[in-house]
Chain A
Amino acid sequence: MAESLFRLRVCYRRGDRARWLSHLETSRANERMVRRAALPFAITQGFSAHMRLAFGPALAVGTAGEQERFDVLLREYVDVDSALAALKANAPSGFEPYHCEYVDLHVKGLQATHIHEQYLIELQPAAEGSGGVASAADAGGVEAAAGSGPHAACESASGEAPGNQRQASIQAALEQLLQVGTLTVQRKGRQKVYDLKQAVQWAEALDDDTIMLVLVSGEQGSIRPELLLREALADRLEVAVRKVTRIRLSDQPWEPQ
């Protein structure tokens, strides 16, 4: 018997302390929210039956998300306002569902490649806290490709730059990194080489304390914004990352207003 199913897409924010969750922990928290909300979810068949859920690209530990999404298959139609109200009432702390909609079963799933992930990175002077650009301890090693090394070229950018001179220094450092062309990341014993021309659509210092990045996921996933910034800014600017937020997920490139 072919069951007719409804694909409900849930958009939510992950913030506050919940930004410290891993992707797996986030997925589990969402599944439990759906169960508590008593939505008529569909399950897989077989010995290890489970809820039919699909998640978007992973949000890194420590990163907040403004436009996160998951799809859950429902056995029955529930109007979107009721579904959203039930989810909101059962959301764990730090999770805020804000929109539900039905999506055709045959449209592309959330995990597709070439997703444009737009990040806002808030900076602070390095002395104020650890977890900075130079010490994001969980991130593994990074090195830019050898070549016209940007390291030597940044004398003017080092130290604490006053006023929007710092904004300009950050912008220069970002652009220098992009010119290098590739970024090599060591993580858990594996090495990944990213082509920065493809992986970074946009990199802009919005002001002295805020950077916007638009990263594009490829075959091997996407770069973590902290890694990119560490490579661009470490040893050159006395700044640390205060907070990273993924503000937008889209299959379309970001376009400036």
Chain B
Amino acid sequence: MSTTSLWDRIEPLLAGVEQPSRYINHEYNARHSADCAYRVALLYPDTYEVGQPNQAIAILYQLINDLEGCCAERVFLPWVDMIAALRQQGLPLFTLEGCRPVGDCDLLGITLPHELAASNISEALDLAGIPLLAAQRGAGDPLVIGGGPCAYNPEPFSVFFDAFAIGEGEELISEIIAVHRGWLSEGQPREELLLRLAAIPGVYVPALYSPDSNGALCPIRADLPAQISKRVLADFADFPSIAAPIVPFAEATHDRLNIEILRGCSRGCRFCQAGMTYRPVRERSADSIVAAAVQGLRCSGYDEVALTSLSSTDHSQIEQILRRLNAQLHGQAVSVSMPSQRLDAFGVAMAQLVAGEKKAGLTFAPEAGSQRLRDIINKNVTEDDLLQAVAQAFTAGWRRCKLYFMIGLPGERDEDVEAIVDLANKAFAAAHQAVPEAQRGQVRMSVSVAVFIPKAQTPFQWAGQLPLSEIERRVGLLRAAVLPRGINLNWHDPAASLIEAVLSRGGRELGPLIIEAWRNGARFDAWSEQFSLEPWLAAARQCGIDLDACAQREYPLDAVLPWSHISCGVDAGYLQAEYLQARSQQTTADCSFGSCTGCGVCNNLAARIELAGGQRG
């Protein structure tokens, strides 16, 4: 579909909004073809600086632009000032590359990064002039597909989407596009498109599933699968990294070159959704990582390269990778970083190798304050691991680090919350000890405490969230703590965590709740200064939904869960066993370091554990 650029009408608005560089496109390595037969808009439902670093968007952007006759354009939600200006001028949500109305694209792909993006999906569709409900869309509207972490419990979002892509999208995207293009050329009814999409492995079409008498979502036709299993990229190790990343003008949240060095983590933390849904572990080789980093820096001009993954220190060749990168990048003021460091893997060598000439951020995640609770959640690190890692880091030159914890975990007691403060104090003391006396005033430690959100597809999916008042009481324990200057303790808003839990654990009934909350003014809920519980409370009253019950309910182990028809490849029996292990404070080892622990992924999916160095540890 051909439409002209809206730029001449957008540009006059820029003098009146914050950070206009978010809206100008034309960044280095951005790709744009004025003429192409099939247009895909890739939407990240938050602002440019939050969404631009997203790796899923970057991967899909490259793959789609490389497809014959196809082009991908990025879309971010403008900040509230720009939204107001667009609405006042009667202008729609626009793509960056072509500056075209999003509603004119053929396919709109929306990534679902976290639950609090829900209201922004409403805002984006409405601003684009696309009917909010999939059921109300017609021939002139784009096909709207969702993917990303929240697709593992797609039901709360299902009203908005024609289909969901479950799992890794590298191969799936071209299959979806091929089906859609074929259908477009034939002029068949929309129902036919949905049926063809549902026939692609890994694609879930909510309109073709309806609840049975037990509430289980079942296919309405016999030729549809009862359970949709995620797609996995079997040859991840050899699949090329992003060749030429877009280099933003505006400062993005992670403004650096990202090299995904491995995918998957089987440490088996029982709260962690990514740890279950990205299995099995697959590593890229040191050779390909070093080559990709050097080439990526050359064509981007970044001064930082991050070796990203769920657990980068676990890569079987991580020391070799860091040594080679440090040698190759010497004298260029480039830092090599990792998003977070595994405590038990952060040794002396690592402390010296990470960050090269710069000592950028260092992040450790003990997650719980006490050993008892760390055993319950299967975070197999000890207090000694933390104190040693901190000592080594500060000896090697760091002067600040971040610690991540959670409160409200299943089995948590008051002494576990207090143990967070104790552990932070001990870590701070260890850091002090490691630093020359004259420099001790520079030591800073930031302690972030998140509220536990029970996530679909994890061993803790059956557990409820604590009542808001109880979470607030436990936050009070933290608040009362006496901490030395130099430790900065902060925690997530428990009210926002309630909404996250509701959207994480609920089902299809939540679609109207999201829309009503958005109508009541909810948007940018992940921004603490924008979040308000009020629109959600009002929406819950309007829709007759009990938010507390939804967040807090404990599911029986044999219950039909709202996401039972979606599988990440891990057997339900394994998740149940892990939940029971948690209750008896038993830990489970990581199969990428030892023998199989029976999660089922390697049997259920066409992928195997791949370790570049042959073995770990």
Contact = CB atoms under 8 A, between A and B. Distances in A.
Interface string A68-103: 000000000000000000000010111000000000
B255 to A, nearest CB: 8
Nearest to A130: B12
Contacts of B249: 18, 21, 25, 28-29, 92
A144 B251 CA distance: 35
B21 interface: yes
B431 to A, nearest CB: 16
Interface stretch (B25-33, B114-122, B209-217, B563-571): B25-33
Interface residues of B, number: 35
Interface in A33-86: 33-36, 38, 43-44, 47-51, 61-62
A20 interface: yes
Contacts of B27: 92-93
A32 B251 contact: no
B301 A24 contact: no
A76 to B, nearest CB: 12
Interface string A141-183: 0000000000000000000000000000000000000000000
A122 to B, nearest CB: 14
A138 interface: yes
A138 to B, nearest CB: 7
Which of B12, B25, B251, B298 has most chain A Cβ within 10 Å? Answer: B12
A137 interface: yes
Nearest to A132: B15
A24 B249 CA distance: 9
Given A21-B249, A47-B359, A31 B15 contact: no
Interface in B13-59: 13-21, 23-28
Contact of B301 (A22, A36, A50, A138): A36
A31 B397 CA distance: 26
A20 B359 contact: no
B549 interface: no
Chain A interface extent, by class? 35 or more
A227 to B, nearest CB: 13
Contacts of B21: 20-22, 25
B28 A92 contact: yes
B303 interface: yes
A35 B301 contact: yes
Nearest to A226: B15
B28 A38 contact: no
Given A25-B249, A137-B16, A50 B300 contact: no
Interface in B267-315: 297-303
A135 interface: yes
27 contacts: A17-B24, A20-B24, A24-B251, A25-B250, A25-B251, A28-B251, A32-B301, A34-B301, A35-B332, A36-B300, A36-B301, A43-B332, A47-B358, A47-B359, A48-B359, A49-B357, A51-B333, A92-B28, A92-B249, A94-B26, A129-B12, A130-B15, A130-B16, A135-B16, A137-B16, A138-B15, A138-B18
Interface of A: 16-18, 20-22, 24-25, 28-29, 31-36, 38, 43-44, 47-51, 61-62, 90, 92-94, 129-131, 135-138
Interface of B: 11-21, 23-28, 247, 249-251, 297-303, 331-333, 357-359, 397
